[in-house]
Amino acid sequence: MGTKLLELKGINKAFYGVKALNSVDFSIDAGESRCLIGENGCGKSTLIKIISGFYTYDSGDIFIKGKHYKKITPMESIKEGIQIIYQDFSLFPNMTVAENITMNSFLSQNRKMVNWKEMKDVAQKALDNLRITIDLNTLVGDLNVAQKQLVAIARAILQDAKLIIMDEPTTALTHKEIISLYNIVEKLHKKGIAVLFVSHKLDEVLTISQKITVLRNGMNVFDGDAKDLNKRKLIYYITGKEIEAEPYIFEQKSEKPLMEVKNLSLNNHFSNVSFNLMPGEILGITGLLGCGRTELAKSLFGLMPASSGEIYVNGVRTEMESVQDAIKSNIGYVPEDRLTEGLHLEQTIGENSVVCVIDKLLGKIMNLDKKKMKLQMKKGLNSIKIEGMAYEKQAKSLSGGNQQKVVLVKWLAANPKILILNCPTVGVDVGSKSEIHEVIKNLARTGIGIIVISDDIPEILMICNRIMVMNQGKVVYEVLSTETTIEELEGKLVEEHVYV
Amino acid sequence: MFKKLLKSNEILLMILIIGLSILFGFINPSFLTIGNWFNVFRACLVLSIFGIGVLFVTISGGIDVSFMAIAAFSMYVTTKAFIALQWTGSIGVMFLVSTLIGILLGLVNAFFITTFKLPSFIVTLGTQNLFRGALLALVGTMFLVNVPKSMIAFSQAQLFIIKNSDGSTSGLHIGVLIVIALYILATLLLKYTMLGRSMYAIGGDIVAAKRVGINVNLVLGFVYGAAGALAGFAGLMHTALFRMSIPSDLVGNELTVIAAVVLGGANMAEGKGTTLGALLGIVLITIISNSLTLLKIPSYWQQIVMGVIIIVGTSIQSYNQKKRVKGIA
């Protein structure tokens, strides 16, 4: 073995006496693709911030291409070719693709003037290099997530990146986009550029990385080849315990469907969607981004009223013209993006948990009855275990998984009969994910009908008893989860996409 | 291509300006005389210089409501000092001094915004009152009418003079050249320098700008310093054109300029804006107020009309924006 591209030895880091990293060894070779995985708070972000020079470390050594660093600054890290692509990509939405790609390298060359022609040439070369086609004159704010990511990658390469660190790169991507990202990573590999993924999605981690590093409680608990691991072993390393997940078994208790949907259509989004939802059933709806799955969910909840078709709730024809209509029919909706749609992050956890039933907590003169509110908070927040929870803490202090649990509590307070969950575990770590799955299954067992929308096929298979695949606004496949496999469903998605 | 052009804010504004001119010309033919257009340009001079400063601040994601107070402070202090000196020299020196005072006051804004990470609106609302109060309490409240001779000469300096049909004369003020030069400079700065692009970057995403390695504090220092400088310069020009300095003048008209620049397509939430748009916005607002005066519409009604135009104009922009984003998604 020659010298490693990057090598960390015995790194220690503590915040206010709490150990975040405990003598961690970590290394990556040129052209290697490695994945860093672990639960929230395991020290992943701390490690990355140390590599990029944003945090100093208490003790240990860093070697980059054999050169010893006792301390490293962000500038030195960039000069050594270490580039981070953050989850938000750090792009400028008000500027063109060309300018975004070249901005960093022009700045680091300490330029004073802008030559637009040269800028476009340089940017075009950077895109050609990756065989990507994006119009250079488009504003980045008008691109979709996958394109933004490509722009960020092109920008990193232009700065002579030797190691690209991607923070949760696939969270907002569709299946097809993820595959094209894999291809890009393959190209980087051939150019000798190393890629370090930080990811939560286990299946993905196992397919794309050659090497895997697992952190748990600030310690490196696994470091080795991806091929030596399977999903079960990986989960064991991440959580430190065996998680035995059982598929959801649906027992039909009544003949009467909770919800019947007949030929529901919304212009340009979906057409002729029909299905029944029985009490206690968990129905999965999957499909690529843009297939109409989110719009369907929003129509069922009155956010985007359907243009034609019928919805029956408990056998009664119901017009879902607004959210109020949906709430009257006892429907709850947990949106995809909990950060912008689901929670008031600045407010306390307690306040968030009661916001859906606030009108029931009023006193005699329309004031908030503090006692009733406390009672409701207790009732709701005791029903689901949330780590690090205190009523008066701000919602943003919780990790992603725990925030999602608060969103669930919030909607359960209104005693919904039908619950629509849109991508309930996006960006949530394995441990919390299985806890959320348990919560969902337990809810269904009490007789609530649940619709789960997700592109995470293993998840859909695990928690749903019936699955519908949507494509281009139509339901193209429906199957019981006991009668299908991951391969078949994934095949369906890709195959359908090729033929359309 | 044609459709794309129609969607461009600048073209829309030009169409609006031409359309309104024709309409006002029909109602009152004197609106379309060259003499009146020279008046309109003269009325635009000061506002359009303020407009550049407002544009810089808006592009970098901020809002400045103190520039009129800075202008009043700089112009009044400068005029008072030079009257006391019994100045007989060039007005250029007076412009320089007023501009320097403006820079200093602008840097006060920059200091609070960058050091304490305070919202620019709060800081400039505070400094607006501070500068205005300091001027009236400490410097004086008297109108200054016996201004230096060079100021009077400046107010009468015409690029060329034409004879109107009724025998009177009208001139195009020389300040038009200054405004054109400033706008060319500002355009070059915004489009072709890293400093200008950094202003857009900060307005687009300040966190990303920091990560990219832009010295955000330095750029914001420039932005508010330049806004102050332009305010100081425009303030002195205001005094010169009216041949008197009124300390209680200007403050209160901030929103007219801000609204004109926003009508011109500038947007603080998205870090957008162009010099041409800002200039057209100023011209549009000036034309409207000029023609309403010609139509003898009382000033309170003018305010109503102005308010409606600002609301409708910005709504159309925001609507177009949403449509564009939806069309792609």
A240 and B CB contact within 8 Å: no
Task: Give the per-residue SS3 of chain A.
Answer: CCCCCEEEEEEEEEECCEEEEEEEEEEECCCCEEEEECCCCCCHHHHHHHHCCCCCCCEEEEEECCEEECCCCHHHHHHCCEEEECCCCCCCCCCEHHHHHHHHHHHHCCCCECCHHHHHHHHHHHHHHCCCCCCCCCEHHHCCHHHHHHHHHHHHHHCCCCEEEEECCCCCCCHHHHHHHHHHHHHHHHCCCEEEEECCCHHHHHHHCCEEEEEECCEEEEEEEHHHCCHHHHHHHHHCCCCCCCCCCCCCCCCCCCEEEEEEEECCCEEEEEEEECCCCEEEEECCCCCCHHHHHHHHCCCCCCCEEEEEECCEECCCCCHHHHHHCCEEEECCCHHHHHCCCCCEHHHHHHHHHHHHHECCCCCECHHHHHHHHHHHHHHCCCCCCCCCCEHHHCCHHHHHHHHHHHHHCCCCCEEEEECCCCCCCHHHHHHHHHHHHHHHHCCCEEEEECCCHHHHHHHCCEEEEEECCEEEEEEEHHHCCHHHHHHHHHHHHHHC
Q: Which of A65-69, A288-292, B74-78 has the lowest mean pLDDT?
A: A288-292
Q: Are A314 and A277 in contact (CB under 8 A)?
A: no
Residue A498 has pLDDT above 60, yes or no: no
Dist. CA A278–CA A250, nearest whole Å: 10
Q: What is the pLDDT of residue B114?
A: 95
- Which residue of chain B comes nearest to A91, CA vs CA? B208
Assess if CATH 3.30.499.10 describes domain A259-330+416-499: no
Q: What is the pLDDT of residue A370?
A: 81
Helix (H, G, I), strand (E, B) or coil at B75: helix
More confident of the two residues A488 and A302: A302
Q: What is the pLDDT of residue A338?
A: 59
Q: What is the pLDDT of residue A340?
A: 56
**What integer is the mean pLDDT of A223-235?**
83
Going by C-alpha positions, the residue among B207, B236, B202 that lies closest to residue B221 is B202
Residue B6 has pLDDT above 80, yes or no: no
Q: Looking at this predicted complex, what is its ipTM?
A: 0.86
- Which residue of chain B comes nearest to A92, CA vs CA? B204
A111 and B CB contact within 8 Å: yes
The size of chain B, in residues, is 329
**What integer is the mean pLDDT of A462-484?**
87
Min Cα separation A444/chain B (Å): 34
Extents of the domains making up chain A: 6-239, 259-330+416-499
Contacts of A343 (CB under 8 A, 6+ apart): A352, A395, A403, A406, A407, A410
Q: Are B77 and B88 in contact (CB under 8 A)?
A: no
Contacts of A178 (CB under 8 A, 6+ apart): A170, A204
Q: What are the E-state strand segments in chain B?
A: 158-163, 169-173
More confident of the two residues A60 and A15: A60
Model confidence band, residue A381 (pLDDT cutoffs 50, 70, 90)? confident
Dist. CA A69–CA A73, nearest whole Å: 10
- The full DSSP string for B95-116 is HHHHHHHHHHHHHHHHHHHHHS
Q: What is the pLDDT of residue A2?
A: 59
A106 and B CB contact within 8 Å: yes
Q: How far is CA A366 from CA A284, A359, A360, A418, B34, in A?
A: 41, 9, 10, 29, 65
Q: What is the pLDDT of residue A409?
A: 85
Tell me: the pLDDT tens digits for A8-35? 999 999 887 778 898 999 999 988 889 9
DSSP-assigned letter for residue B146: S
B192 and A CB contact within 8 Å: yes
Dist. CA A341–CA A380, nearest whole Å: 20
Structure tokens at A63: 């070697």
Across the interface, whether the CB atoms of A93 and B211 are under 8 A apart is answered no
CA A347 to chain CA centroid, Å, is 23
Tell me: the pLDDT tens digits for B265-274? 888 888 899 9
Min Cα separation B16/chain A (Å): 26
Question: Which residues in chain B have their CB less than 8 angstroms from residue A90's CB?
Answer: 205, 207-208, 211-212
Model confidence band, residue B7 (pLDDT cutoffs 50, 70, 90)? low
B324 and A CB contact within 8 Å: yes
Residue B194 has pLDDT above 70, yes or no: yes
Q: Buried (b) or exposed (e) across A361-389, using 16+ Cβ within 10 A?
A: beeeeeeeeeeebeebbeebbebbebeeb
User: Domain span at residue B89?
Assistant: 2-328
Q: What is the pLDDT of residue A1?
A: 47
Assess if CATH 3.30.70.2740 describes domain A6-239: no
Whether the model pTM is above 0.80: no
Q: What is the pLDDT of residue B163?
A: 85
Q: What is the pLDDT of residue A371?
A: 82
Across the interface, whether the CB atoms of A86 and B272 are under 8 A apart is answered no
Q: What is the pLDDT of residue B328?
A: 40
Q: What is the pLDDT of residue A312?
A: 92
- Domain count of the fold of chain B: 1
Across the interface, whether the CB atoms of A92 and B192 are under 8 A apart is answered no
When the pLDDT of each residue in chain A is averaged and rounded to a whole number, the result is 84
User: What's the burial of B308, exposed, middle or buried (CB within 10 Å: 0-12/13-18/19+)?
Assistant: exposed
Question: Which residues in chain B have their CB less than 8 angstroms from residue A114's CB?
Answer: 191-194, 196-197
The CATH number of the domain where B101 resides is what?
1.10.3470
Residue A497 has pLDDT above 80, yes or no: no
Dist. CA A35–CA A478, nearest whole Å: 35
Question: Which residues in chain A have their CB less than 8 angstroms from residue B325's CB?
Answer: 141-142
Residue A389 has pLDDT above 80, yes or no: no
Dist. CA B126–CA B135, nearest whole Å: 14
Tell me: the pLDDT tens digits for A407-457? 888 888 888 899 999 888 876 777 778 888 888 888 888 888 999 998 888
Min Cα separation B179/chain A (Å): 24
Model confidence band, residue B327 (pLDDT cutoffs 50, 70, 90)? very low
Q: Are A91 and A140 in contact (CB under 8 A)?
A: yes
Dist. CA B33–CA B22, nearest whole Å: 12
Q: What is the pLDDT of residue B3?
A: 59
Residue B326 has pLDDT above 60, yes or no: no
Residue A328 has pLDDT above 90, yes or no: no
Residue B134 has pLDDT above 90, yes or no: yes
The single-letter code of the amino acid at B15 is I
Candidate from B193, B203, B271 with C-beta closest to A112: B193
Min Cα separation B29/chain A (Å): 43
Question: At B43, which helix (H) or strand (E)?
Answer: helix B34-59
Q: What is the pLDDT of residue B329?
A: 35
Dist. CA B57–CA A333, nearest whole Å: 41
Dist. CA B252–CA B263, nearest whole Å: 19
Model confidence band, residue B10 (pLDDT cutoffs 50, 70, 90)? confident
Residue B217 has pLDDT above 60, yes or no: yes
More confident of the two residues A62 and A250: A62
Candidate from B192, B205, B209 with C-beta closest to A114: B192
Q: What is the pLDDT of residue A500?
A: 39
- The full DSSP string for B2-14 is HHHHHHSHHHHHH
Residue B315 has pLDDT above 90, yes or no: no
Work out how many CB contacts closer than 8 A connect A with B.
63
Across the interface, whether the CB atoms of B208 and A90 are under 8 A apart is answered yes
Q: What is the pLDDT of residue A443?
A: 86
Mutate which of B205, B268, B323, B326 to disrupt the A interface (most A C-beta within 10 Å)?
Answer: B205
Please work out, in degrees rounded to the nearest 5, the angle formed at the alpha carbon of residue A122 by the alpha carbons of A120 and A124. 65
DSSP-assigned letter for residue B86: T
- The full DSSP string for B166-210 is TS-EEEEETHHHHHHHHHHHHHHHHHHBHHHHHHHHHHH-HHHHH
Model confidence band, residue A121 (pLDDT cutoffs 50, 70, 90)? very high
